[in-house]
A and B are shown apart, each in its own frame.
Chain A
Amino acid sequence: MDASTVEKIVKEIENIAPSHEGAHVGKVVAVGDGVVAIDGLSKAVMSEIVVFEEGKGKKLKDSMEAQGELYGLILNLEEDGVRASILGETSRVSEGMTVKSTGRILSVPASEEMLGRVVNALGEPADGKGPFKKTTMMPVERQAAGVIDRKGVSVPLQTGIKAIDAMIPIGRGQRELIIGDRGTGKTTVAIDTILNQKNEPKDKRPICIYVAIGQKESKTARIAQQLREQGAMEYTIIVDAPASTPAALQYLAPFSGVAIGEYFMDQGKDVLIIYDDLSKQATAYRQLSLLLRRPPGREAYPGDIFYLHSRLLERACRLSEEKGGGSITALPIIETQEGDVTGYIPTNVISITDGQMFLIADLFNKGIRPAIDVGISVSRVGAAAQTKAMKGVAGGIKLELAQFRDLEAFMQFASDLDKETADRIESGRRMVEVLKQKNGAPIPVEKQVAILYAAGHKFFAEVPVNKVTAVEAQFTQFLDAQYAKTLAEIKKTGQLSDELKKTLNIAMNEFKLAHKELFASR
């Protein structure tokens, strides 16, 4: 034992004054599957935290070796007792165990120290880097901001993904659902969005919170590693409730994440929160509800499953200037089965959010990534937050792609095509190529504007389809090297003035002249 510990102990002994404060207690009468029935605790309130007293009858030495306190969360108040979920290992609870009321509603710690850290659903460090020194406790359940405290969404949140920023723009304070089958790149879209925030100036950069619900530990570790390697962890917090944790913690994780987000929002900061994914949270909540003997409804989900998600997502908002002007942008993820978006949970979350991006397995398998189906993806408020420059260049893309998809289907039956149709198909093919993007490589908005401007002005018309991506990359490098000022101007003003358009035209011509071989023919 080191000297400082001895000193601490001596000091503490001097301060000891036996307290005779009474605690309100109950007794465990039944335990199983992460849920306990407790007799007593008649003064307990809903969502109150209780502590299981593991030390009773144990020797001091054994109690000292215990793994920290074991908490429970009261979820049912019944006539002759309460039911609570165990926020830890069920095996540590036994029948007859004393349960102490704490009088505290579930709260999680929040502070700037959490940036760059991985925490569990209770806000405790889960990365072995030691405890947080100074934190503020934030209630896990909090009423969402009211109408008066809110402001319309008008500031863009750039994802760095061309297809999204151009066609399904997201604003700060918006809730945009990412939906699709497993393995279609939903998490990639979310992680790329976090990575892209590095391109934002530090004072405007949103704090990112990634909530992993029911995920494999290896996947979360890989994401943390990727964020760390690309320098995004410094503004990111990971709230991890892996598949191995009890259902109660998986159900709580998104609420803990948003509570931490609210700490930053209350300071006037912008927050981006990703819930990966809410289908697993719904499943955990269903498990918990069935164990709590709440009546099952459709697909055995409890009756308040809609409220579970609506009260969570309503907490994403943009506050008025009087309230500090902070915001929480939510990107919930929902996993569908066989592309069925008409399931119970998907339709619930679609109706709650301000838009959705559908990721389709077919497109993914064709190599079109991100595999966003622009036809059925929509952003209901984001367009108000799109910069003028992006609006100017992205206006016709959605229509062009929709027409291309129709013609592409028709093309399978028709052999002879008139020139106009053939041109439209060729142009559509190139646009699809332009919108393709590698994962982990978000593109700053000014470069997106330049690329889409070029695409809209037939810059890629003479490039073979299979070389569009390569030409685009070279053109971006060329702009970076030769026209950095123009890009900076687009970023600064958010507009594409006639002057800037002229400069971009000159840049396009210069590039074409310098790389004639790339523009040979179709």
Chain B
Amino acid sequence: MEQTYAQALWKMVEGGMSPVKAVHALRDLLKLRGREALLPRIGRAFARIAQREGKRTGITLSVAREKDERAAKSAVKTILAEIGVEPKEVNILVDDSLIGGWRLEGKETLVDASHKKELLELFNRSVRA
């Protein structure tokens, strides 16, 4: 039940209502229905939704080595523009398993230009086919 209330709260805020007003409206409603005790649980569910949404909307650029960061950033410029993300919003992550190249993930989009992916595809085509 707390999940549903948390979702409703999220939608109210997303819809443009001020957070304070939304929380007050929710508290009034819960009071009316005798469910005020749910508030802490609703708070935790709301935090979970926020975390999930953050993951969904956040964007990560993974590179194999720190020194590849600049090259990767310039390579993803066009893609970022396409998905409507400012370059400064991108989180940079070093993942040495990529071997080389880069990998951009977030906003339901994945662009994998890593050497690992290419080598793996090559291996699968050559050996498993």
Contact residues of A with B, CB < 8 Å? 5, 8-9, 12-13, 16, 18-27, 29, 39-43, 55, 57-60, 63-64, 68, 80, 98, 100, 131
Closest 10 CB pairs of A and B: A25-B110, A8-B126, A23-B110, A22-B111, A40-B108, A22-B109, A12-B122, A9-B126, A18-B113, A60-B116
Complex Cα distance A39/B95, Å?
Answer: 23
Interface contact B118-A16, CB-CB below 8 Å? yes
Interface contact A13-B122, CB-CB below 8 Å? yes
Q: Does B91 make an interface contact (CB < 8 A)? A: no
Interface contact B108-A68, CB-CB below 8 Å? no
Nearest opposing residue in chain A for B114, CB measure: A18
Question: Of A19, A20, A55, which one neighbours B116 at CB under 8 angstroms?
Answer: A55
Complex Cα distance A5/B122, Å?
Answer: 11
Given A18-B113, A63-B116, A64-B123; 18 other pairs, CB 8 A cutoff: A5-B126, A8-B125, A9-B126, A12-B126, A13-B122, A20-B79, A21-B111, A22-B110, A23-B110, A23-B111, A24-B108, A25-B108, A27-B55, A39-B52, A42-B108, A57-B97, A63-B120, A98-B110
Nearest opposing residue in chain A for B101, CB measure: A18
Task: Given A22-B111, A63-B116, check contact A39 B56 (CB 8 Å).
Answer: yes
Q: Mask for B99-129, Cβ within 8 A of A = 1, else 0?
A: 1010001001111110010111011011111
B interface secondary structure, majority = helix
Which B33-47 residues have C-beta < 8 A from chain A? none
Output the least CB separation between B47 and chain A (Å). 15
Interface contact A19-B113, CB-CB below 8 Å? yes
Residues of A within 8 A of B108 (CB): 24-26, 40-43
Nearest opposing residue in chain A for B111, CB measure: A22
Interface contact B113-A12, CB-CB below 8 Å? no
A interface secondary structure, majority = mixed
Residues of B within 8 A of A21 (CB): 111
Interface contact B118-A22, CB-CB below 8 Å? no
Interface contact B120-A60, CB-CB below 8 Å? yes
Residues of A within 8 A of B112 (CB): 23
Residues of B within 8 A of A131 (CB): 129
Complex Cα distance A98/B52, Å?
Answer: 14
Complex Cα distance A27/B56, Å?
Answer: 8
Residues of A within 8 A of B123 (CB): 64
Output the least CB separation between B91 and chain A (Å). 15
Complex Cα distance A236/B99, Å?
Answer: 47
Residues of A within 8 A of B75 (CB): 20
Nearest opposing residue in chain B for A40, CB measure: B108
Complex Cα distance A19/B118, Å?
Answer: 9
Interface CB pairs A-B, < 8 A, 16 = A5-B126, A12-B125, A19-B113, A20-B113, A21-B111, A22-B109, A24-B108, A24-B110, A26-B108, A27-B55, A39-B52, A42-B108, A43-B108, A57-B95, A68-B128, A131-B129
Output the least CB separation between B73 and chain A (Å). 14
Which of B101, B120, B129 has most A Cβ within 10 Å? B120
Interface contact A18-B97, CB-CB below 8 Å? no
Output the least CB separation between B125 and chain A (Å). 6
Task: Given A5-B126, A60-B119, check contact A25 B109 (CB 8 Å).
Answer: yes
Residues of A within 8 A of B56 (CB): 27, 39-40
Residues of B within 8 A of A18 (CB): 101, 113, 118
Interface contact A9-B97, CB-CB below 8 Å? no
Nearest opposing residue in chain B for A4, CB measure: B126
Interface contact B95-A25, CB-CB below 8 Å? no
Nearest opposing residue in chain A for B112, CB measure: A23
Residues of B within 8 A of A68 (CB): 128
Residues of B within 8 A of A12 (CB): 122, 125-126
Which B1-45 residues have C-beta < 8 A from chain A? 7
Residues of A within 8 A of B116 (CB): 55, 60, 63
Residues of B within 8 A of A80 (CB): 7
Task: Given A9-B122, A63-B120, check contact A23 B97 (CB 8 Å).
Answer: no
Which of A5, A23, A98 has most B Cβ within 10 Å? A23
Task: Given A20-B113, A25-B109, A60-B99, check contact A55 B120 (CB 8 Å).
Answer: yes
Output the least CB separation between A38 and chain B (Å). 11
Output the least CB separation between B45 and chain A (Å). 13
Residues of B within 8 A of A40 (CB): 56, 108
Which B43-85 residues have C-beta < 8 A from chain A? 52, 55-56, 75, 79
Residues of A within 8 A of B105 (CB): 25, 98
Output the least CB separation between A50 and chain B (Å). 12
Complex Cα distance A80/B55, Å?
Answer: 13
Nearest opposing residue in chain A for B7, CB measure: A80
Which of B116, B126, B127 has most A Cβ within 10 Å? B126
Complex Cα distance A22/B97, Å?
Answer: 20
Nearest opposing residue in chain A for B52, CB measure: A39
